[in-house]
Each structure stands twice: as C-alpha cells, then as structure tokens.
Copies of this chain bind each other. A is one copy, B any other.
C-alpha cells in the first residue's frame, strides 16, 4: 500500500502514518525541550529532566479560588502527624461540606510522593515503548489530535479510611473518607495510543502488562494488566472541563476507572508494554494489604463498594434542633454502578432505603439523601452501599474477620457516627 492509497483509506490509518512520519512527534532520542541553564544541551528523553530533579511544590500554594470569603472553611486539610512533610502529604477533600457528585477541583483530595511538579505543556512528552510494533513519543499537541471522550470517574486512594482499621480514630468524614474525588474527565482512551504504537506482535493480551510512570522524581511506577489498559483506561487532559490542576498531574494524568488511586499516574511520562508486572516499590512494599497471618493479598486493585454519611457527621453537627433533618452522603463502587444505599439510625439493627439523587453511573460517585423527622434521639448513623454486581458493603466486623487488623489499605467498611441528643456527632464503632 503506497502513501496515496493510505491517504485514500481515511483518517485512522492516515493519522498513524502521520504520527509515525515524525512530522510532529519527537523521535525516541529527541530531547524533551526542558528549560535548562544556558548552553547546557537538552537531556535525552531517557535522562532525568529538570522538573524531576528535586521536589515539587506544596499543593496549596495554588489558591483554591473560594466561591466567597465566607466559605473559607471549606478547604482541603492535611493531618500533620500522618505524613512526613510537604513533599509527601495528603490533602483531604472537605466532603462533609459538599453536595451533588462533582468535586470542585480546587478542593479535591490530593496525594503525592515527591511534591506537585510544574511541567509545561511545551515540555511534556509521553513515551510508549516495550512490546509494541514501534516505540513512539507524543507531545501534548499530538495528544490533542486524537479522538477523545468524556467520562466521569471517582478516584479513591487505597489508603482511604486506612487509619480506621485499628478502630474509630479521626473525628471527621473529611479525614476518615476524604481521600476521594469525582470529576468529569476529557481524554484519549489508552487503547487508542497503544494501538497507535501497534500491538500486532503482542500475542495473548491476558498475560501482558503496561508499566506506567510519572514525570515527578518519585515516578510512582505501577503495573497494570494490558486487558484493563485496553478496556477503559483514559489518558486525561482535562478535569471538570478545564486543565488538570498542578497537583492532579497537569498536563496529563492516567485514569484507571474503579481501581486504587495510586495507579492513576500523574504527570504521565511513559507507558511500557511488558510480559510481566514490574514489581515496583509502589506495588510491593507499598499498597499491599498484610493479612492476620503476615502474608499479603496479591493484586488488590479494585476499590470495592463503599458509602458514608457526610452530613450529619462530626464536622457537620445538627445545629437546628428537632424536626426535619436531611441525611446525605456519597456512595461508589469500583466494580460498577451503585444501585442502592441503605441508611441505619440504630447502628445497623434496621435499615431504610435512601433516595439516590440520580441513577448510579459505573465507576462514578452517587449522592444519596434520606429525610427524617429527628426528635432529638441519640442515633448510630450508618450507610451501606450496594452495586450492580450484587456486592454489599460490609461491616467492620465482617471485614476484619477476613482481613485481620494489619491492613492499611482497602477499608471499605460501614462507618458509624454517634449522633448525640445535642446534635453533635462522633466517630465510633458499634459491635
């Protein structure tokens, strides 16, 4: 097939021809164009770039953009003793004070391992290599030329609710369940980019992997089964309509729908197709669940169905006295759509079916409401999510029976708030 014939075959083939021609795509050995000292040569793309040569900034250096000064309490918060310093911090979403399902990006949870780097679009490069027909390097502008889609996904850190394994600890839903957000992403299906590089010699995709890494100093490399990569992963260039925030991976991050947040590599710089998992730090010594007998669970990627009452809660006490009370919260599942959320006022003895604000969407957050007439009685408030696989969110007792108490990750147990007669709320466990 000659060039002319290819052109006649239309867009898909022609795009490939175009991108391979190198007209807009840097060759593998091309420098990434990073800013540098005068006279210093460009580093090769395989060498350390200037933005990865140290720590990024703290996150809340970028102003959030408050709706109005009176809302200055609705901000991300850190728990100082939980992480060492600004270059490895957790900034929890104020889910107690939000409504709906979209998380405003400026107050959306963020976790990084070596700071939030500042990487210009002009300097951005994405390499695809390994078991592909032709290794490729894309610029940001190249990515904008591929067909893109819009999808809304939740992102939950595997360590969300991690401190609660050992008992009720942190007195606020922002801290107990706030390592989560939900955004509308615009991006290119990862499948499209992998097919651009070519998978014709890959053999059975079921035993192949992609190793994805970021452009920050930590690189945060993770192995993902190729089957998942080709299914629904997204190379995102926008979140909630606008550019990703610096701390969410500007200009490009990976979305791995329903799977633990650590795999959603930020400042995405490289995707290597491999025939085995890389067994990186982030997927062995970290992000691994230790069971009661000291062995570890293997490949715990999916975030199981979970829900939590966001109001009332310790940061959102009942201040209006007796009478009508709106109970509300969030539910999500990494296996599919939320189909039902139950709410208990008596610590799980009896349940009422809550109202879902909108029909559940796979891998996205749902909002639930339950309106009650509160006459000042003490309550042990809980919520319980169901997803469309039939999975039901477990109690802490059920979860500990299987997983022991050595875990840090994947705590999707039912949360209890003790609502006192004066309207105050406290994080407790009920047996």
Least CB distance, A141 to chain B, in whole angstroms: 5
Would you call A47 an interface residue if the criterion is a C-beta within 8 Å of the partner chain's C-beta atoms?
A: no
Would A242 and B71 count as touching, CB distance under 8 A?
Answer: yes
Which of A11-19, A153-161, A331-339, A408-416 is near enough to bind chain B? A11-19
Would B65 and A11 count as touching, CB distance under 8 A?
Answer: no
Q: How large is the interface on A (under 10, 10 to 19, 20 to 34, 35 or more residues)?
A: 35 or more
> Copies of this chain, how many?
2
Would A150 and B65 count as touching, CB distance under 8 A?
Answer: no
Give Cα distance in the complex from A98 to B105, angstroms. 14
In the bound complex, residues from chain B placing their C-beta under 8 Å from that of A7 are 373
Q: Which of A98-143 contact B (CB under 8 A)?
A: 98-107, 118, 120-121, 141-142
Give Cα distance in the complex from A282 to B20, angstroms. 58
Would A70 and B148 count as touching, CB distance under 8 A?
Answer: no
In the bound complex, residues from chain B placing their C-beta under 8 Å from that of A15 are 323-324, 373
Which of A36-44, A210-218, A243-251, A273-281 is near enough to bind chain B? A243-251
Give Cα distance in the complex from A139 to B64, angstroms. 28
Would A70 and B120 count as touching, CB distance under 8 A?
Answer: yes
Give Cα distance in the complex from A7 to B244, angstroms. 50
A98 and B373 in contact, given A145-B323, A321-B24, A358-B150 (Cβ under 8 angstroms): no
In the bound complex, residues from chain B placing their C-beta under 8 Å from that of A120 are 70
Would A250 and B147 count as touching, CB distance under 8 A?
Answer: no
Least CB distance, A173 to chain B, in whole angstroms: 15
Q: Which of B121, B145, B355, B357 contacts A320, CB < 8 Å?
A: B145
Would B321 and A23 count as touching, CB distance under 8 A?
Answer: yes
Would you call A383 an interface residue if the criterion is a C-beta within 8 Å of the partner chain's C-beta atoms?
A: no
Q: With contacts A11-B324, A62-B66, A65-B66 known, what are 7 further pairs, Cβ within 8 A?
A: A19-B324, A24-B321, A62-B67, A98-B242, A99-B238, A104-B104, A150-B367
3 tightest Cβ-Cβ pairs between the two chains A and B: A65-B65, A99-B186, A150-B357
